[in-house]
Amino acid sequence: MLVITIDLVPGGFAPMRRTIATMNISNISDLAEISDYLIEANETSNPLAGTPPRTVRCVIHGHARAQSVWALLVKASEEIMKTDSIEP
């Protein structure tokens, strides 16, 4: 499983650091060369953008594991952006 945490550090001032989003990426196809992944993401509300907090679950199908981790992160981010929030 990959665990991604996104922290905001206003002005680089570490005491103001806070987590604004998290993502878990889990391989659900027994580490096959071409794998499927479950994505679970959470983000806090964003007053600047006027968006509420949200939780998203989605799946990436057919990702080639021989690629860079960044390729998987891009796919996961794109899938999150087009997936509706799940209700609490």
Distance CA 42, CA 44 (A): 7
pLDDT for res 8: 95
pLDDT score at 88: 60
How far apart CA 27 and CA 47 sit, in angstroms, is 33
Question: How does pLDDT run along the chain (88 residues), one tens digit per residue?
Answer: 999 999 999 999 999 999 999 999 999 999 999 999 999 999 999 988 898 999 999 999 999 999 999 999 999 999 999 998 886 6
For the full predicted model, state whether its pTM sits above 0.85.
yes
pLDDT, position 87: 67
